[in-house]
Chain A
């Protein structure tokens, strides 16, 4: 344990003094200011919604949740992707591991420091948003709302820690930092873009939509043209949506956005293609939200544990040859 703490202290100094962390903090800070403004705008236009809508409301770009969906993986992977292989190539790993410490201390110390770094990023982002929103709106969250925000913070930390552990796994599995960086970029693209595209492609293949004529039922009453979406079409769309969202669940980003929306009291708004009536968003209490999203949260946690255990197993058995 002493070894872990020594590595942890050094890694903390490294993380917080690094340009990488400052750049991430800068980007996230800037984007969260923008999303706070948007949230506030949204709230002004939809005054019936509570304070929590600052995290989900979007006017012209990113809400906080979308910010995390797109940039969260980058934060976690960027902080972890070279944790081990950088030390391996620079030759410091053989020096460190020839000291009387267990190998897992190195992983523990590094992972713990990374977790503190993502925690700092999360808390400062959410803090920044609340700090900006309260004076602009003139009111703050309710007690229940505050608990929801705390839950959102914890969920976000867990989500970022998952990406951190995946990055760490890449750094254990590959010898070169360039390879692990490529693996990280590939994973990010897959989770954020490819899976969504794949999901719609599969949905399209499984439930093809009828041709354009079937889309509308033309009820001519009094000579006017009043198109309405046929119930048949609507059923098909629903079916497609179900398929699409189940496939999307492969991606941790979707798991997170569903869980985060539920915690903030919103059932995921339906983003089906071509549906022109916005589906009503139910409002949930925090406990309902947590109940609805516990499976997602568990899945993210399991992913984290799997990555961590895999890194452990691989690292404990690896040969530490100088220069890789």
Chain B
């Protein structure tokens, strides 16, 4: 059994009339890459701020790395690294000095700070830029410096708030690879928030979908996909040559087929149980050829949109 590293219990934050976080129950296990997914304004950033003690909860409790987020806030901050959304740097200081300052705030001796700073700058590929003022940095470089800043305290858990926002595809990939590497090589637990489904799908092992401050669903990505396809039945995509309208009618008549639709030359057949063989028999009977046939996989996007719509309703 893996140990939970973040556990929230009915965590609630109310701003005026808005419930930014509403009775949130969330568990992140050690060693995971946990994705906090949700549309803008779902409460992702607020949740992270509450966990880091930058904001006080209205109600509820949470423990992070074994410490209460209110009473043990300082201890939490000692062992959790944060890359905040829209992280800022001291623009008139060099990358190295920025890092060393954060190191010193963690009570690290000067020599240790310098050592770790140069190691981390190497790791995030900024060694050549270590003596350059941050004002000259591109967005992607700043984000990599931010990751180094989160890591200088040698945390047990790192939280990245929208780590790839505003980056180009190459920059996004760099950050993603870095997160995966940290998790695999150092066994670091990562929690990241994003509104980009694709991003979460590529990086995370588990995901929690947040909407209007509430946790809608929390599971591993595979489980979610399985759960979803079970509810929706099986769906197969066919690409056909010489297809006729009679053929589609015949397929609709097959027992077990629930849905037939054709879009951009692709035939989509939904079925209650696997009747793929019957469908292909009918297709060949009408003299049409199957160019391509594949089961339709549900992406996180489908899952997300479904839950999102449910949330809206």
Contacts and interface: CB of A to CB of B under 8 A. Distances in A.
B153 interface: yes
Contact of A322 (B86, B89, B101): B86
A2 B78 CA distance: 14
Interface stretch (A67-75, A87-95, A208-216, A295-303): A87-95
Contact of A100 (B49, B85, B87, B107): B107
Size bin of chain B's contact surface = 20 to 34
B205 interface: no
20 contacts: A3-B107, A6-B105, A9-B104, A10-B101, A90-B89, A91-B88, A92-B90, A95-B87, A95-B149, A96-B102, A98-B54, A100-B74, A100-B78, A100-B106, A100-B107, A101-B77, A319-B55, A320-B55, A322-B84, A323-B85
B153 A90 contact: no
Contacts of B74: 100-102
B54 A3 contact: no
B84 A98 contact: yes
Contact residues of A: prevailing secondary structure? helix
Interface of B: 45, 49, 52-56, 74-75, 77-78, 80, 82, 84-91, 101-102, 104-107, 146, 149, 153, 161
Contacts of B78: 100
A98 B52 contact: yes
Residue among A99, A102, A319 having the largest count of chain B Cβ atoms under 10 Å = A99
A282 interface: no
B47 to A, nearest CB: 13
Interface in A306-324: 317, 319-323
Interface residues of A, number: 26
A320 B107 contact: no
Contact of B88 (A90, A98, A99, A101): A90
Given A2-B107, A100-B74, A94 B54 contact: yes
B105 A96 contact: yes
B25 to A, nearest CB: 23
Given A92-B88, A322-B86, A99 B106 contact: yes
Residue among A6, A98, A100 having the largest count of chain B Cβ atoms under 10 Å = A98
B59 to A, nearest CB: 16
Contacts, number: 85
Interface string A1-18: 011001101100000000
Contact of B77 (A87, A93, A98, A321): A98
A102 B75 CA distance: 11
Contact of A99 (B77, B87, B90, B161): B77
A322 B77 contact: no
A229 interface: no
A146 interface: no
Contacts of A7: 105
Contacts of B82: 94-95, 98
B84 A91 contact: yes
A97 interface: yes
A3 B105 CA distance: 6
3 nearest A-B residue pairs (beta carbon): A91-B88, A100-B78, A99-B105
A93 B101 CA distance: 13
Interface in A92-125: 92-102
Contacts of B86: 91, 322-323
